[in-house]
Amino acid sequence: MKITAAVSRESRTVPGLEQVDLDEPRPDEVLVRIVATGICHTDINAHNGRGVPVPRPIVLGHEGAGVVEAVGAGVTRLAPGDHVVLSGNSCGVCPRCLDARPTYCREAMRVAFGGARLDGSSPIAQDSDRIAAMFFGQSSFATYALAPARSAVLLPKDAPLHLMGPLGCGVITGAGSVLESFRLRPGQSIAVFGTGGVGLAAIMAARLAGARHIVAVDINRPRLDLARELGATDTVLGGAGAEQSLRDIDPDGFDFAYVTADAPSVYATATSCLAVEGTLGYVVAPASEWVPDTGFLLAGGRKLQGIIGGSANPHVLIPQLVEYWRAGRFPFDRMIEEFPFSDFARAWTETGSGRVIKAVLRMPET
């Protein structure tokens, strides 16, 4: 079938909208009409050649939400008409997948960034040339997407699909880090470094969990203001003086420090603010060499923890977050700004510049 997709090519500064062909779903796949999809900085880094390399040309996008249009012959859990959020892909058979921890799938890197199914095939072509796809198992910068049925999370049909896409990556990563990786308990404390979509989701989750101190750290004052509205008990302007400000807020140190930025100096500050037996969790690697003070970390039982996808089972946590949102306890929609898919370049540029926290592209009505 003919679809419109944003194709990332090496010759372009921004992916461009093109007409491409999409295959029919295989037995274990679903065809989803995308209603809206978020833009994540992982998409931007993939296009710009930073981070994990991807083949090109490729259709990116991995925060898609939409309506199931068709299902493969082996799919029994979903049916045409179902509303879904697309989460990351996984193999479904390794020990981590069988333990409902798909973000740590042994094939995670290949199925996320390889530009193809596990068998090496791509469902997207243009004329007679195949275009890399299945980015995070979906390639949702398109009017339609194919995805493995196991990565499609069923939603209530009255949930507003135009808001749901970011739950599949940025929001579940931040919220899951607090609720699943840290398992933060009431009365504990957390400092969140970076108030983009992931950091703000972590702040909202910390409020849900009953944290005593929730401190947002950033160099962007308007984002710090929003962080306070969404649940931060304190805010700290990043840079010189941040370490002392954190110490003033909690002289005993924080139970958790959560790093969503890549500056090595941020990692150093986050390490220094930890309490005895505190945990520093991070979702992106430092942009350049960072050597932690391992004596400080280990002597006090402190830990350094990398986190992928919030360590969450999307089929459990995403529906929970939707219910929290319905109850007014998790207002992630406050950080969303919507753009028509035809205005892709502007949404992309304003996300990259930091003006927009979470851009969501709405597809044309059909």
Of 3.90.180.10, 3.40.50.1970, 3.40.190.10, 3.30.450.20, the CATH number of 1-167+330-360 is 3.90.180.10
- 70, burial (CB in 10 Å: exposed 0-12, middle 13-18, buried 19+): middle
- Alpha-helix runs per DSSP H in the chain: 41-48, 95-98, 108-113, 161-164, 170-176, 197-209, 221-230, 242-249, 264-272, 294-299, 314-326, 344-353
Nearest to 123 by CA among 4, 55, 90, 115: 115
Residue 288, pLDDT score: 84
Ordered by start, the domain boundaries in the chain are 1-167+330-360, 173-307
* 241 pLDDT more than 80: yes
Q: What confidence tens digit (pLDDT) does each residue in 194-203 have? A: 999 999 999 9
DSSP secondary structure letter of residue 177:
I
Site of tokens 């991807």: 54
Query: What is d(CA 167, CA 319) in angstroms, rounded to the nearest whole number?
Result: 9
Residue 261, pLDDT score: 92
What mean pLDDT do residues 126-133 have? 94
More confident residue, 130 or 128: 130
Instruction: Give the 3-state secondary structure percentages of the chain, helix then strand then coil, rounded to 5.
Output: 35, 25, 40
More confident residue, 220 or 365: 220
More confident residue, 294 or 133: 133
* 356 pLDDT more than 90: yes
* 366 pLDDT more than 80: no
Percentage of residues in the chain having pLDDT higher than 70: 100
Nearest to 47 by CA among 305, 352, 287: 352
Helix (H, G, I), strand (E, B) or coil at 235: strand
Residue 160, pLDDT score: 97
What mean pLDDT do residues 232-255 have? 96
DSSP secondary structure of 200-218: HHHHHHHHHHT-SEEEEEE
Reported confidence tier of residue 260, pLDDT bands at 50, 70, 90: very high
Beta bridge partners of residue 192, listed in sequence order: 216, 258
Q: What confidence tens digit (pLDDT) does each residue in 141-157 have? A: 999 999 999 999 999 99
Strands 83-86 and 64-71: antiparallel
Query: What is d(CA 318, CA 65) in angstroms, rounded to the nearest whole number?
Result: 12
Residue 244, pLDDT score: 96
Query: What is d(CA 40, CA 109) in angstroms, rounded to the nearest whole number?
Result: 17
* 48 pLDDT more than 70: yes
Among 51-60, 132-141, 192-201, 291-300, which is the least confidently predicted range? 291-300
What mean pLDDT do residues 264-281 have? 95
CB 71 within 8 A of CB 80: yes
Q: What number does CATH give the domain 173-307?
A: 3.40.50.720
Q: What confidence tens digit (pLDDT) does each residue in 72-109 have? A: 999 999 999 999 999 999 999 999 999 999 999 999 99
